[in-house]
Amino acid sequence: MEGFPEEGWVSEDVRADFPTLGLLHLTVELAGPRDSKLLKRRMGDLERYFNGTAITQLRTRPVVAAHRVFFRQVGLDPDVDLLPVEEALRGRLMQGRFESHGLLADALTITAIETEVPVMALDGRAVLGPLGVST
């Protein structure tokens, strides 16, 4: 990691509709092969934790339920446009395990599952200016 999470900006019109919405971002370096083994082991740990019962109860968890409400408020159907945590756990249920999609994708999957918050990665070399949320 390069430091601590920083707050991004939120436009006034978005903040008017969603006063508690925020954006945090963090600069990190992509890890090496040793960390790949740690990620695979962590995904294995999550596979053992998330059985069918835990997956079916996911939508009752406060963070997931709040994100599903937010999706509806911005015009998305959360039953069609799944949260990343729901997408990952659906794959776990259908395939019997978490499928590896490479170091970065696996790290994002683990983060989404553990925090229940949508996460994404950007190539910092392509980012121009500060990160923020607007309409």
| pLDDT tens digits, 8-50 | 999 999 999 999 999 999 888 876 666 677 888 888 888 888 7
In a domain, 114, yes or no: yes
> In which domain, by residue range, is 111 found?
33-120
Give me the number of domains the chain comprises: 1
* Cα–Cα distance for residue pair 132/127, rounded to 1 Å: 11
CB atoms inside a 10 Å sphere around CB 32: 8
- What burial letters (b/e) apply to 14-31, b meaning 16+ CB within 10 Å? beeeeeeeeeeeeeeeee
CB of 19 closer than 8 Å to CB of 45 = no
In a domain, 129, yes or no: no
In a domain, 133, yes or no: no
| pLDDT tens digits, 42-93 | 888 888 887 777 778 888 999 999 999 999 998 999 999 999 888 888 888 8
CB atoms inside a 10 Å sphere around CB 47: 13
pTM of the model: 0.77
